């Protein structure tokens, strides 16, 4: 009997996976979320928490890829506002995402996960180049694949990278982990009367001017029939409950 990297026989893992809502997911995390209660950098406790959340779904047979931002270290847009050339700032931001990806990789491996880090820019000493077929093969073998350096191009956000990579690897859904529990009629941190949507269509998001992802990323998902779930990643157990089919967060659908 073939055994998968998690150590479970493939037939048993297949039975477990059959009860899950999704088979392959792209988890999008913000760099700012890694700060935890800090003002800058990486909070090791938050990093360990995220690794355990990812492990909880991988242990159930879910294939998981991750894209993480770099805003806790550097943001190209902010550099441009300070007078730096936008292209230079964006490349610096890509390197910040690689730092976060390396930190997340270490945390996942400490949690017992098998991982691969792929970069959109060449960093052969620390990461594989992004190769779609190789990434898919890693996922099929039960490895967590972390995509660093965004799309490898300036003027594109890590939201766009998440949408692009999710489409390329044929993910079932983008799970956008945030610090709020979904999409609201207004910013819930500023407007206490804001109400949360359980489900909303892409057209309704456009019409109501709601902020889910940047427009390039959002349009990519819309045109490729890729649903998005916005949920609170900081609440323990949310990720696992979501892939098991519980109504967690807000689903953006067609």
pLDDT per residue as tens digits for the range 32-84: 888 888 888 899 999 999 999 999 999 999 999 999 999 899 876 666 677 88
Under a CB-based contact definition with an 8 Å cutoff, are residues 198 and 48 in contact?
A: no
- Count the Cβ atoms, other than its own, within 10 Å of residue 186: 12
Q: Which residues of the chain have pLDDT under 50?
A: 1-16
pLDDT of amino acid 234: 93
- How crowded is residue 49: how many other Cβ atoms within 10 Å of its Cβ? 16
Mapped onto helix, strand or coil, the DSSP state of residue 219 is helix
Domain 10-253 top-level CATH class = alpha beta
Per domain, the residue ranges of the chain are: 10-253
Residue 76: per-residue pLDDT: 67
- The neighbour count for residue 191, using CB atoms within 10 Å, is 11
250 beta partners: 230
Q: Model pTM?
A: 0.89
């Amino acid at each position: 009997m073939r055994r998968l990297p998690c150590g479970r026989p493939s037939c048993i893992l297949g039975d477990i996976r059959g009860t899950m809502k999704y088979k392959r997911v792209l988890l999008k995390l913000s760099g700012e979320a890694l700060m935890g209660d800090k003002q800058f950098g990486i909070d090791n406790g938050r990093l360990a928490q995220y690794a355990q959340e990812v492990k909880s779904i991988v242990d159930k047979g879910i294939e998981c890829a991750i894209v993480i931002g770099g805003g806790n270290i550097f943001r190209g847009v902010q550099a441009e506002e300070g007078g730096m050339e936008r292209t230079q700032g964006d490349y610096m931001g890509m390197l910040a995402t690689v730092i976060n990806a390396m930190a997340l990789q270490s945390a996942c491996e400490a949690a017992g996960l098998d991982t691969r880090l792929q970069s959109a820019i060449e960093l052969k000493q620390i990461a594989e180049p992004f190769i779609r077929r190789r990434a898919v093969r890693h996922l099929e073998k039960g490895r967590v694949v972390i995509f660093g350096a965004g799309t490898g191009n300036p003027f594109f956000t890590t939201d766009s990278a998440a949408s692009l990579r999710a489409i390329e690897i044929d993910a079932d859904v983008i799970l956008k982990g945030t610090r709020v529990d979904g999409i609201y009629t207004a910013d819930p941190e500023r407007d206490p009367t804001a109400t949360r949507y359980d489900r909303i269509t892409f057209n309704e998001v456009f019409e109501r001017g709601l902020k889910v992802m940047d427009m390039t990323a959002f349009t990519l998902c819309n045109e490729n029939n890729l649903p998005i779930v916005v949920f609170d990643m900081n609440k323990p157990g949310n990720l696992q409950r979501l892939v098991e089919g519980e109504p967690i967060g807000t689903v953006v659908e067609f």
